[in-house]
Amino acid sequence: MSRDYPLDKTRNIGIAAHIDAGKTTVTERILFYSGKVHRMGEVHEGSTVMDWMELERERGITITSAATTCYWNDHRINIMDTPGHVDFTVEVERSLRVLDGVIAVFCAVGGVEPQSETVWRQADKYHIPRLAFVNKMDRVGSDFLNVVKMIREKLKANAIPIQLPIGAGEDFTGLVDLVRMKAVTYDNESLGATYSESDIPADLVDSCETAREELLGALADYDEDILHHVVDGSDVSEESIKKALRRAVLDATVVPVLCGTAFRNKGVQHLLDAVVDYLPDPTDVPPVKGVNPFSKKEEERKADSREPFAALVFKVITDPYVGLLHYIRVYSGTAKTGSHVVNASNKKKERIGRVLLMHANKREELPEISAGDIVAIVGLKHSATGDTLCDLKHPLRLEMMDFPEPVISVAIEPKTKADEVKLSEALGRLSDEDPTFVVKVDEDTGQTLISGMGELHLEILVDRMLREFSVGANVGRPQVAFRETITKKARSEGRFIRQSGGRGQYGHVIIELEPNPGNGFEFESRMRGVAVPKQYVRYVENGIRESMASGPVNGCPVVDVKVTLVDGSYHEVDSSDLAFRAAGSRAFYDGVRKAGPVLLEPVMDVEVVLPVEYVGDVMNDLNMRRGKVEGMSQRADTHVISARAPLSDMFGYATTLRSLTQGRAIYSMQFSHYDQVPGERVAQLQGRVRGLA
């Protein structure tokens, strides 16, 4: 595939934003104008190409990231359309891991919203160059410059407009290209497919001149011609601006801001031009680095088909026609259908059965793949999300992906005996697809618990079980994933001694515990001499880790604790691995009881956008839910309440909010941190909650 489009004419990009900013509509217009589809799909009609799942079309939201490929100005563009809802943030995370550039879409009225910030942080994590597209300029209350200001203040980004809108709301007719200093207006009769260029309207000349000078000032560090212009006011060529702007974008120091309205078919072609002009091709990105699983040395692979083959599995889905599909990004080398590769993560050999170029849920078979490609593979047996596929003779394990822990769980059980087998298969398939979906059997109750990132996440998964796997199941009330931790230092001793006539068991350890907020579990050995022989130290740690699964307050997992092994003793004959593991477990459990154990609960960031007349009622309701209002602001003609509230008190909030505001308010909620449960609340919860891993 890459032979027709060399790497310098390939772009691997994602489209990401807060829910309802218009990502899917932008993608649909890109596909239409690039000739990939011949009819525009609409989210409200359930006719979009990218939201192909029945659930996505019914609900009007993107649930799973979809891949497609289109062509523009002699370039091949691989696109990932990602979800905007925080419950599906893993879809964004694993897409960004394999992309070279991102279009961040912002609503011209809402601006930078909570999930916008999450997506931006994820892109920062992978150092991905970005374009910002201010969408919905046709909406009442749209304000392009205010969104630019929000990007700078909230996201701490160097946002520089390269376009200015002509009009706003119903009067939005086009844009001014600040690079070429031309006005662009779109023809409504042709669905925006044709547009005309003209001189800048007289009333916009001054603001466009000012904005262009700001653009040139930001680029002066990247081009000497532009620097001379800033100094002496000479003309700057379009080529110089584009060249400098591309360098600034690749350096991730400048974020060009464009505008338009995808729904009204304005601005999308110029967004595609910007993707080609400014976002990186695979060779612009630094070589990927990984570890040779045998030599343990760090190696790198350049984006070159002549390098050894290396690819990352970033997504697994179940296809009703071909079974498991493994989406991969090829970083280097080539591989043909039927060839063998090795999974460097588990050192198992794999065969590439078929290679598919995906267009949402449609597919096109390819004979081979090479560097820069994003495709799906059929036939892999031992690979999961985050695994590396590589050349048999040149193994390389790329950096694994980190996924957040689930924060909410429900109990699920089959309705009939026949559903039992189906449920087991469905849970296995869905957990293969989604790393944030965790299945566990509660040892005390025997219940099967499913855990995820939010109510909507679990609701969608249960709905998929019914539709895709025909499973009849009863679902319990949601349960929060509580945790336990300690608040002070403590010293503890653990002994495990058994005498049975022959060889006995003997293990004895002394440990110190201390709080380790935000850093998880750490274990250290600081013994002098051989009080506990080295070969037993790791079994002491294993015993402690096992004991962490159930704390003394309410049987929830213990987190954020540092444990130091300081002393102990052993018996030359009776000491064993088992004895020291048991001694470590006893010492830890006893130590946690002495160290001021407390119960922790997940706290959520909540943002409510609503008309001013309902502010009082909504704030009172948040207070009743133990919420703390962090601030208030005005956004166009609405008010925004920013608050933090414990997840356990936010169940059913959507229904309550609709009732309080006559359906005129919207809210978003995402995980913030774990916080201590107040004492009076602990008494109510004890015995009723379980820690759900």
Q: How much is the average pLDDT of 191-204?
A: 87
pLDDT class for 85, splitting at 50, 70, 90? low
pLDDT computed for residue 283 by the predictor: 92
pLDDT computed for residue 692 by the predictor: 42
pLDDT in tens, 577-598: 899 999 999 999 999 999 999 9
Does the pTM of the predicted model rise above 0.85? no
User: Residue 540 pLDDT > 90, yes or no?
Assistant: yes
Computed over every residue of the chain, the mean pLDDT equals 85
pLDDT in tens, 217-265: 888 888 777 888 777 777 788 888 999 999 999 998 899 999 999 988 9
pLDDT class for 65, splitting at 50, 70, 90? low
Distances (CA, A) of 217 to 179, 220, 258, 499: 13, 5, 18, 81
pLDDT computed for residue 636 by the predictor: 66
Contact 215, 278 (CB under 8 A): no
Q: How much is the average pLDDT of 276-288?
A: 93
DSSP character string of 194-258: -EEEEPPPGGGHHHHHHHHHHHHHHHGGG-HHHHHHHHH-----HHHHHHHHHHHHHTTS-EEEE
Q: How much is the average pLDDT of 607-626?
A: 91
User: Residue 215 pLDDT > 80, yes or no?
Assistant: yes
Q: How much is the average pLDDT of 67-85?
A: 85
pLDDT computed for residue 58 by the predictor: 56
pLDDT class for 693, splitting at 50, 70, 90? very low
Report which listed range, 109-118, 271-280, 349-358, 432-441, is most confident. Answer: 271-280
Q: How much is the average pLDDT of 615-619?
A: 93
CA 513 to CA 595: how far, in whole Å? 7
pLDDT computed for residue 452 by the predictor: 82
Neighbours of 445 (CB within 10 A): 10
User: Residue 508 pLDDT > 90, yes or no?
Assistant: yes
pLDDT computed for residue 42 by the predictor: 60
pLDDT class for 691, splitting at 50, 70, 90? very low
User: Residue 652 pLDDT > 80, yes or no?
Assistant: no
User: Residue 503 pLDDT > 90, yes or no?
Assistant: no
Burial of residue 530 (number of CB atoms within 10 Å: 0-12, 13-18, 19+): exposed
pLDDT class for 690, splitting at 50, 70, 90? very low
pLDDT class for 648, splitting at 50, 70, 90? confident
pLDDT in tens, 12-61: 998 888 877 888 889 888 988 988 876 665 654 544 555 445 555 555 55
Share of the chain above pLDDT 70, in %: 92
- Which stretches of 20-162 are assigned E, i.e. beta strand? 66-72, 75-81, 101-107, 130-135, 159-161
The pair of three-digit structure tokens given for residue 498, joined into one six-digit string: 């058994």
- According to DSSP, the β-strands at 255-259 and 159-161 are parallel
The b/e string for 422-444 (b: 16+ C-beta within 10 A; e otherwise) is: bbeebbebbbebbbbbbeeeeee
pLDDT computed for residue 573 by the predictor: 81
Q: How much is the average pLDDT of 426-430?
A: 87
pLDDT computed for residue 120 by the predictor: 87
The pair of three-digit structure tokens given for residue 187, joined into one six-digit string: 């023809």
User: Residue 116 pLDDT > 70, yes or no?
Assistant: yes
User: Residue 2 pLDDT > 50, yes or no?
Assistant: no
Contact 265, 285 (CB under 8 A): no
